[in-house]
């Protein structure tokens, strides 16, 4: 299965490392952490992270996730996005890369 991606602030990731798990901003409010595939990343960044700095991309191995992973269509979209229903265990994160490196900026 292809890796999934999640964009977050560098300090949020550093906090997750200190705590031993990553809790996305929407886990408490929506019940899951939003992720995407590499082909969806540019659109996600332009819609939700415009103008933000110090962002990193978590490259996540789905087969290493402890919480459930679900593939869902957001309302009004034909795309299917991966959603992680629980805190992301750190050993599922195979790489953390600055966003600008991933986007080639």
Query: What is residue 48's three-state secondary structure?
Result: helix
Share of the chain above pLDDT 90, in %: 90
Whole-number pLDDT of residue 2:
84
pLDDT at 74 exceeding the cut of 90:
no
Q: What average pLDDT does the structure give for the chain?
A: 95
| CATH superfamily entry for domain 4-103 | Protein of unknown function DUF952 (3.20.170.20)
Contact 83, 35 (CB under 8 A): yes
Specify which residues 93 forms β-bridges with: 60
Q: How wide is the angle at C-alpha 64 spanned by C-alphas 91 and 32, nearest 5°?
A: 90
Domain ranges of the chain: 4-103
pLDDT digits (tens, 9 = 90+) for 24-55: 999 999 999 999 999 999 999 999 999 999 99
């Amino acid at each position: 299965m292809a890796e999934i991606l999640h964009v977050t602030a560098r300090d949020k990731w550093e906090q997750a490392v200190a705590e031993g798990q990553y809790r996305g901003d929407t886990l408490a409010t929506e019940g899951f952490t939003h992720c995407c595939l590499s082909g969806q990343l540019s659109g996600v960044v332009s819609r939700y992270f415009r103008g933000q700095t110090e962002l990193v991309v978590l490259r996540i191995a789905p087969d290493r996730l402890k919480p459930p992973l679900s593939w869902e269509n957001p309302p009004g979209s034909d795309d299917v996005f991966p959603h992680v229903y629980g805190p992301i265990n750190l050993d599922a994160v195979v790489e953390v890369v600055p966003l600008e490196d991933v986007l080639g900026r």
